[in-house]
Amino acid sequence: MRVLVTGAFGRLGQEGLERLLQEGHSVIAFDVPSKHNEKAARRFEGRVRAVWGDIRRAEDISPCVENCDAIIHNAGILAPLSEKEPELAHAVNVGGTQHILDAMRRRSDPPVLVFSSSLSVCGPRVPGGPPLTAEDPAIGTDNYTSNKAECETMLRESGLPYVIFRIGVSVGARAAAGDLSPDVFRVLFGINPEGRLEWVHPEDVALAQVRAIQTPAAWGKTLMIGGGEGCRLTFREFYGAMFEATGVGRFPDEAYGSEPYYCDWLDTAESQSLLRYQRIRFDEFIVALRHQYRFTRPPTRALAPLIRRVMLRYSDAWQATKRS
């Protein structure tokens, strides 16, 4: 198959490219030109057809849609940038998706579209209760989730072949420390440590995407994409294991707030039955993460008290305990 991947040189996009190539597909890799993306594209030079463009412009993305058999649509603006620049986020997340759908409608044989949504469309979750299902409604509580919910509605009303993936927490070994910033610290430390999440490896998400384009029984469905029972954790367990593996060490419970967050356990029975993608358990991921950081962990441990002290500056809960 000739497969179009948008957001091709992001972390999930790259996993998808590797999986598609392993299975012998021809790939059109669409992304916005940037230093990061152009560097990532070098890994795939000569193996994929890279197309540089702006998904906000129909004239950039439409020719790619006209020449493919399937689409894996990962491109999007994530939080916190979506909250800082809402007009940009809507133009990319919703406008870009609309351009793809418009181009699909112009074809007599439209390709199937696998859309990367998020479990966050179900809203902030308090601990307890049954796992989330595809029947849980999409509700927009911020710019990002509103954009995703709007796109889900567009797809369901389009009359075109699609699969919606509501993806759980998907962090791989290469990305474990890549997104740490003051904005991320503030979010992290605001979350109730008893809150639940379901992790899924990006490689498994990519496998599910590739299988979905080849599985007509999945078309027209909304599927919850998570790692399964071996990947169900609390935030305390998740971040504790991550920070231990990298050498930073665990933070006290007093560092965390009490806010519910956009995560929970997922009912993945249907997606797993259709796509058979769940392979990597969270404990196996932690082993890989420890191996990746085997050389940097000892010096990180030596600096850990300083690192934790800097990070805790962005914990409102911790700062409140110091003032009391």
Question: In this predicted structure, what is the pLDDT of residue 248?
Answer: 94
Question: In this predicted structure, what is the pLDDT of residue 263?
Answer: 93
Comparing 55-59, 133-137, 152-156, 260-264, the range with the smallest average pLDDT is 260-264
Mean pLDDT of 89-106: 98
Give Cβ neighbours of residue 303 (< 8 Å, ≥ 6 apart).
Answer: none
Query: Mean pLDDT score of the chain, rounded to an integer?
Result: 94
Is the previous residue joined to 80 through a cis bond, with omega within 30 degrees of 0? yes
**Separation CA 307–CA 322 (nearest Å):** 18
The vertex-240 CA angle with 233 and 312, nearest 5°, equals 125
Please give the domain boundaries of the chain with CATH numbers for all domains. 2-172+200-225 (3.40.50.720)
Can you give the pTM of this predicted structure?
0.94
Comparing 79-88, 98-107, 160-169, the range with the smallest average pLDDT is 79-88
Reported as a single tens digit per residue, the pLDDT across 277-291 is 999 999 999 999 999
**Separation CA 177–CA 56 (nearest Å):** 30
